[in-house]
């Protein structure tokens, strides 16, 4: 199992490095700077010998003069090298982050609808923010530590061997022990950091739900429940973090304790009579300085593994998203403007095969320019049916054709360009009313065009009363507008799109009867000359349709015109009667 994870980790790390590859000149500069930096450390330890032996004991005037100069030069080089390596690595790191963020964001746009349905917004957002930040740490901090500190250690160890082989060899008895401890600790660490990231996602998920659902929470007094839920995830996050902190807090002193044993051993060895003869004060202090200076890099190297693992865990969770296949790109068939002939041929669909069919044996035809209404109880599959046309989901079997060709044959943007959709829950973006109307490909619409459709959809009726008119900001998801106003904006948007196929999914559900009557004309204008699939909660909207299809539990149970269906006296007729209270319900 651990080997499996390791090779996995290796692949992830290589993939992350791939992102840094284009910046190799900067990397090289940083590495060169780190070599200089490591050399200055060794140089400092080495300087101890002439400083003590030359300046203090022999009192050599040349040494006395040159040592302070060297010291300043050493630190000047060290400072410069430190700056260059930090700056270059962070530059690369931030570039990598920016690209990863861009890719994840783009992925959000390309993910199939089904994935969006399943994933929590909070978790997705925390990947975009928190997890990617962790990768930044990994690509900069880790590399600094691995390269610079390893080089420093090499330099210092070499210097120690040069000074005294016996003492240096002794150090190597302690080394493996520290190494073993490092590995043990890092294995524990890796487990926690992954779980902490997951629990961080939980924290944002719960918070996000509260932020977006605050009204529901208030009116149903859900505060307690939400508090409890948040307490759970908050506490879990804390506990996991504390466990990680504990592992870290125990590991560092443990390593240092082992190091202290080593140091005590060195002092003991160095003060043996045979040694004392060979060692000058300067040599011993230089050796000892080098050894002390080893501690920092060693300590960082033990931590670096945890850091690296954290980065890899974060990288893994990001690549998991990036590796989800995009929604199918569609075929190659181009389509400028469809005539608008739609046919469903024995269509079967399920969101999740295990949960059974949502639609089955759907067969019907809509001639170009016709209006077809779908009627049926809530949950009967109306919204699902129309979401198959713009390929939010794909059929499980059977086929849907537009102008005689399977919708899967068209190139996706071309297909979607043919369809305007006004649905029940209108999504507005945090922008002005005008820019919400001219959204997406209609960005280039002129102010006159926008005003014309705003007028037809009765948007002007309320926007003209606002101080900034059509340039009024609608707030986050359009909260500053009422439901009916939002729907009118959505209708204006559909008018502007002027697509050959129009889908109205309870498009007027948020409008009161009077406003609905008012935009009736707008809708009539909208419906005219194009193929329209309409789902309406008010059957009065449906009456004028060329054709009515009644659904129940994912099947077509009745079809026909309003008059013929009333005559049939089936479900449509009873629904119709119920709505107009011609006879008591039940």
Ligand X SMILES: Nc1ncnc2c1ncn2[C@@H]1O[C@H](COP(=O)(O)OP(=O)(O)O)[C@@H](O)[C@H]1O
Point out which residues bind ligand X (CB under 6 A): 117, 351, 358, 376, 378-384
Q: State whether residue 67 is helix, strand or coil.
A: helix
Spatial neighbors of 546 by CB under 8 A, at least 6 apart, are 370, 371, 372, 561
CB nearer to Mg ion: pick between 38 and 536: 536
- Smaller CB separation from ligand X, 282 or 376: 376
With CB under 5 A as the contact rule, the residue among 383, 387, 498, 571 that binds Mg ion is 383
Least distance (Å) between residue 551 CB and Mg ion: 11
Spatial separation of the C-alpha atoms in residues 167 and 275, rounded to whole Å: 9
Q: For 305-324, give one letter per residue: b (16+ CB within 10 A) or e.
A: bbbbbbbbbbbbbbbebeee
Sorted by sequence, the CB contacts under 8 Å of residue 499 that are 6+ apart come out as 417, 418, 419, 420, 530
Which of Mg ion, ligand X, none binds 62 (CB below 5-8 Å, type-dependent)?
Answer: none
Cβ neighbours of residue 574 closer than 8 Å, sequence gap 6 or more: none
Q: How far apart are CA 426 and CA 150, in angstroms?
A: 58
**What is the Cα Rg of the chain in Å?**
35
Smallest gap from residue 383 Cβ to ligand X (A): 3
The two structure tokens encoding residue 570: 């089936």
Minimum CB separation of residue 525 from Mg ion in Å reads 24
- 344: closest CA among 298, 395, 283, 292? 395
User: How far, in Å, CA of 325 to CA of 446, rounded?
Assistant: 37
**Residue 580: count of CB within 10 angstroms of its CB:** 9
H/E segment holding residue 6: helix 2-20
Residue range at the interface with Mg ion (CB under 5 A); choices 242-250, 274-282, 378-386, 395-403? 378-386
Minimum separation from the CB atom of position 32 to ligand X (A)? 55
Nearer to ligand X, 460 or 551 (CB): 551
Length of the chain as a residue count: 586
- Number of residues this chain uses to bind Mg ion (CB under 5 A): 1
Least separation, in Å, of the C-beta of 316 and ligand X? 27
Nearer to ligand X, 79 or 379 (CB): 379
In the complex, least distance from residue 509 CB atom to Mg ion, rounded to whole angstroms: 9
Query: Whose Cβ is closer to ligand X: residue 380's or residue 531's?
Result: 380
Closer Cβ to ligand X, 16 or 510, answer by number: 510
- Shortest approach of ligand X to residue 423 CB, angstroms? 10
- Nearest to 38, CA basis, from 164, 175, 144: 144
**245 touches 265 (CB < 8 A):** no
Choose among ligand X, Mg ion, none what residue 358 binds, the Cβ cut-off being 5 to 8 Å by kind.
ligand X
Stretch that binds Mg ion, among 31-39, 161-169, 375-383, 452-460 (CB under 5 A): 375-383
Among residues 134, 159, 114, which one has the least CA distance to residue 391?
A: 114
In the complex, the smallest distance separating the C-beta of residue 237 from Mg ion, rounded to whole angstroms, is 37
User: What does DSSP assign to residue 182?
Assistant: H
Choice between 305 and 380, CB closer to ligand X: 380
Among Mg ion, ligand X, none, the one that 351 touches (CB under a kind-dependent 5 to 8 A) is ligand X
Q: How far is CA 238 from the centre of its chain?
A: 23
The burial class, CB within 10 Å (0-12 / 13-18 / 19+), for 122 is buried
- Note whether 18 and 321 are within 8 A (CB): no
Task: Name, in order, each residue with C-beta under 8 angstroms of 434's C-beta and a sequence gap of 6 or more.
Answer: 447, 450, 454, 470, 471
Residue 197 Cβ, how far from ligand X at the closest point, in Å? Answer: 27
Q: Which does 432 bind (CB under 5 to 8 A by kind): ligand X, Mg ion, none?
A: none
Nearer to ligand X, 127 or 382 (CB): 382
Which listed option, Mg ion, ligand X, none, makes contact with residue 384 (CB within 5 to 8 Å by class)? ligand X
Residue 342: CB minimum distance to Mg ion, A = 19
The residue among 143 and 503 lying less far from Mg ion, judged by its C-beta, is 503
Choose among ligand X, Mg ion, none what residue 379 binds, the Cβ cut-off being 5 to 8 Å by kind.
Answer: ligand X
Question: Shortest distance, CB of residue 244 to ligand X, whole angstroms?
Answer: 37
User: Would you state the structure tokens that stand for residue 573, as one six-digit string?
Assistant: 């007729």
Contacts of 440 (CB under 8 A, 6+ apart): none
- 136/503 with CB nearer Mg ion: 503
On whether the CB atoms of residues 440 and 398 are closer than 8 A, the answer is no
For residue 178, the partner it binds in ligand X, Mg ion, none, with Cβ less than 5 to 8 A by kind, is none
Report how far residue 244's alpha carbon sits from residue 390's, in angstroms, rounded to the nearest whole number.
48
Residue 425 near which of ligand X, Mg ion, none (CB within 5-8 Å, type-dependent): none
- In whole angstroms, how close is the CB of 99 to Mg ion at the nearest point? 39
Cα 314 from Cα 196, distance rounded (Å): 10
Partner touching 3 among Mg ion, ligand X, none, CB below 5 to 8 Å by kind: none
Number of Cβ atoms within 10 Å of the Cβ of 46: 21
Closest approach of Cβ 358 to ligand X, in Å?
Answer: 4
Q: Which stretch binds Mg ion (CB under 5 A): 16-24, 149-157, 381-389, 546-554?
A: 381-389
Residues 260-279 as b/e (b if ≥16 CB within 10 A, e otherwise) read eebbeebeeebeeeeeeeeb
Please give the residue whose beta carbon sits closest to Mg ion in the complex.
383
Please report whether residue 343 would count as binding Mg ion according to CB under 5 A.
no
Nearer Cβ to Mg ion (190/382): 382
Place of tokens 């002129």: 446
| 52/375 with CB nearer ligand X | 375
Q: Select from ligand X, Mg ion, none the partner in contact with residue 531, using the beta carbon and a kind-dependent cut-off of 5 to 8 Å.
A: none
Question: Rounded distance, CA 314 to CA 321, Å?
Answer: 11
Q: Which is nearer to ligand X, 296 or 379 (CB)?
A: 379
Residues near Mg ion (CB under 5 A): 383
């Amino acid at each position: 199992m651990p080997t499996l994870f390791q090779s996995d980790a290796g692949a992830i790390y290589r993939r992350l490095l791939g992102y840094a590859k284009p910046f190799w000149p900067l990397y090289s500069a940083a590495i060169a700077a780190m070599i200089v930096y490591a050399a200055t450390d060794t140089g400092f330890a080495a300087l101890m010998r002439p400083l003590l032996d030359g300046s203090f004991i022999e009192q050599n005037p040349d040494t006395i003069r040159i040592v302070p100069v060297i010291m300043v030069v050493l630190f000047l080089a060290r400072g410069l090298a430190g700056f260059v390596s930090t700056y270059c690595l962070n530059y690369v790191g931030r570039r990598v982050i920016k690209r990863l963020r861009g890719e994840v964001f783009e992925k959000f746009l390309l993910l199939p609808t089904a994935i969006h349905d399943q994933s929590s917004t909070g978790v997705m957002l925390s990947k975009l923010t928190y997890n990617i930040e962790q990768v930044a740490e990994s690509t900069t901090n880790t590399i600094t530590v691995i390269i610079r500190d390893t080089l420093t250690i090499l330099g210092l160890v070499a210097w120690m061997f040069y000074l005294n082989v016996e003492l240096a060899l002794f150090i190597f008895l302690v080394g493996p022990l520290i190494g073993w401890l490092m590995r043990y600790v890092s294995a524990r660490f890796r487990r926690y950091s992954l779980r902490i990231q997951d629990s961080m996602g939980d924290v944002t998920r719960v918070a996000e739900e509260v932020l977006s659902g605050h009204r529901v929470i208030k009116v149903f007094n859900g505060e307690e429940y939400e508090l409890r839920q948040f307490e759970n995830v908050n506490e879990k996050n804390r506990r996991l973090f504390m466990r990680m902190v504990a592992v870290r807090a125990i590991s560092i002193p443990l390593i240092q304790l082992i190091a202290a044993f080593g140091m005590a051993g060195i002092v003991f060895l160095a003060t043996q009579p045979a040694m004392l003869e060979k060692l000058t004060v300067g040599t011993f202090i230089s050796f000892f300085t080098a050894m002390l200076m080893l501690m920092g890099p060693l300590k960082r190297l033990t931590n670096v593994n945890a850091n690296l693992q954290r980065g890899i865990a974060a990288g893994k969770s990001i690549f998991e998203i990036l590796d989800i296949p995009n929604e199918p790109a569609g075929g190659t068939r181009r389509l400028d403007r469809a005539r608008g002939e739609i046919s469903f041929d024995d269509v079967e669909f399920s969101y999740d095969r295990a949960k059974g069919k949502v639609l089955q044996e759907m067969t019907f035809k809509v001639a170009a320019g016709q209006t077809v209404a779908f009627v049926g109880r809530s949950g009967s599959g109306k919204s699902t049916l129309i979401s198959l046309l713009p390929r939010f989901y794909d059929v499980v079997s059977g086929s849907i054709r537009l102008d005689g060709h399977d919708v899967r044959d068209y190139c996706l943007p071309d297909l979607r360009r043919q369809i305007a959709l006004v649905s029940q829950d209108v999504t507005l973006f945090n922008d002005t009313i005008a820019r919400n109307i001219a959204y997406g490909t209609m960005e280039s619409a002129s102010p006159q065009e926008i005003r014309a459709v705003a007028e037809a959809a009765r948007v002007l009726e309320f926007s003209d009363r606002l101080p900034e008119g059509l340039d009024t900001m609608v707030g986050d998801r359009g909260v500053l507008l009422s439901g009916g106003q939002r729907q009118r904006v959505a209708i204006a948007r559909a008018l502007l799109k002027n697509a050959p196929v129009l889908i109205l999914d309870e498009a007027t559900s948020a409008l009161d009867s009077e406003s609905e009557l008012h935009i009736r004309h707008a809708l009539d204008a909208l419906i005219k000359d194009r193929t329209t699939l309409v789902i309406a909660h008010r059957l009065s909207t449906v009456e004028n349709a060329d054709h009515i299809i009644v659904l129940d539990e994912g099947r077509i149970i009745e079809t026909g015109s309003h008059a013929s269906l009333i005559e049939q006296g089936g479900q449509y007729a009873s629904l119709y009667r119920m709505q107009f209270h011609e006879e008591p319900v039940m």
